[in-house]
Amino acid sequence: MPEIKTFLLFAATAVAEIVGCYLPWMWLRQGMSAWLLLPAALSLALFVWLLTLHPDASGRVYAAYGGMYVAMALVWLWLVDGIRPTLWDLLGAAVALTGMAIIAFAPRNA
């Protein structure tokens, strides 16, 4: 069960970062309100806090998190941007998630 908890924590962390970056993108690229910067900042603060909840060393957490970010960005591409990921996108996400699992769940001596 700790693997599922870690996986879900990485997913929530990725969503917080993506939202925190997407809202300023909407302001800058789509001419939306600058008020979007406030929830963006809160989302990025949530992202940072969620990263601290992982029990492993920060560098290992960041490395493993990158794999989940890739996969969640493709989910975002599909659900928010309305673009269905290609087979190559999915293959890349599978490779990234495999890397994440190896880094996050490998046995440790220390």
pLDDT per position as a tens digit, 8-48: 999 999 999 999 999 999 999 999 999 999 999 999 999 99
The more confident residue out of 108 and 63 is 63
Under the banding of pLDDT at 50, 70 and 90, the label for residue 1 is low
> What is the pLDDT at residue 61?
87
Mention every residue, 6+ apart, whose C-beta is less than 8 A from residue 40: 19, 20, 21, 22, 23, 24
Rounded distance between C-alpha atoms, residue 52 and residue 58, angstroms: 8
Mean pLDDT of the chain: 92
Query: C-alpha distances in angstroms, 8 versus 11, 15, 18?
Result: 5, 11, 15
The more confident residue out of 54 and 97 is 97
The structure's pTM equals 0.87
